[in-house]
């Protein structure tokens, strides 16, 4: 079990640029979650997938954000036309699909928008 991995670990970009993050879940986990964490705060839910289906999106996820999970394996989160307010840690987590299952987190991608 190699755990949840995320790439890149850090991303610095200029305002208006597009960025894409990748998450590889634990291999046998059907559910994959994206959260956003700003400094000194708890993570906030963005979206989650059951296999390749995106089941819920938060109102935090504006139309500049899009997430995919093709083939139900890895997932990507893209932010278009980045803004300074997008600067945060983006966390990915995965879990089996049973009720109450623990979510296991990756190391996160820290985004800085200049």
Partner 1 sequence: AQTVTQSQPEMSVQEAETVTLSCTYDTSESDYYLFWYKQPPSRQMILVIRQEAYKQQNATENRFSVNFQKAAKSFSLKISDSQLGDAAMYFCAYLQGAQKLVFGQGTRLTINP
Helix (H) or strand (E) holding 68: strand 65-68
Per CB under 8 A, contacts with partner 1 among 9-48 are: 31, 33, 35, 40-45, 48
Residue choice 67, 88, 108, 109 for contact with partner 1 (CB under 8 A): 108
3-class secondary structure, 86? helix
As a whole number of angstroms, the distance between CA 62 and CA 80 comes to 10
Asked if 107 is part of the footprint of partner 1 (rule: CB under 8 A), the reply reads yes
Q: How far is the CB of 87 from partner 1 (least distance, A)?
A: 16
* Beta carbon nearer to partner 1, 8 or 16: 8
Q: Which two tokens stand for residue 77?
A: 């989160």
Residues in Cβ contact with 62 at an 8 Å cutoff, skipping those fewer than 6 apart: none
* Beta carbon nearer to partner 1, 82 or 95: 95
Contact mark string toward partner 1, 82..101, x via CB under 8 A: ---------x-x-x-xxxxx
Q: Where are the beta strands (DSSP E) in 2-52?
A: 5-7, 10-13, 19-24, 31-37, 44-50
Contact positions vs partner 1 (CB under 8 A):
31, 33, 35, 40-45, 48, 56, 58, 91, 93, 95, 97-108
């Amino acid at each position: 079990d190699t755990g949840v991995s995320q790439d890149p670990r850090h991303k610095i970009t200029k305002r208006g640029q597009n960025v894409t993050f990748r998450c590889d879940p634990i291999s046998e986990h059907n559910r994959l979650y994206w959260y956003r964490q700003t400094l000194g705060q708890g993570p906030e839910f963005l979206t989650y997938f059951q296999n390749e289906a995106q089941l819920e999106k938060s109102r935090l996820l504006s139309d500049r954000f899009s997430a995919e999970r093709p083939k139900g394996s890895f997932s990507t989160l893209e932010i278009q036309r980045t803004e300074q307010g997008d600067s945060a840690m983006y966390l990915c987590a995965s879990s089996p699909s049973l009720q109450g299952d623990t979510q296991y987190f990756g190391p996160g991608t820290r985004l800085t928008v200049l």
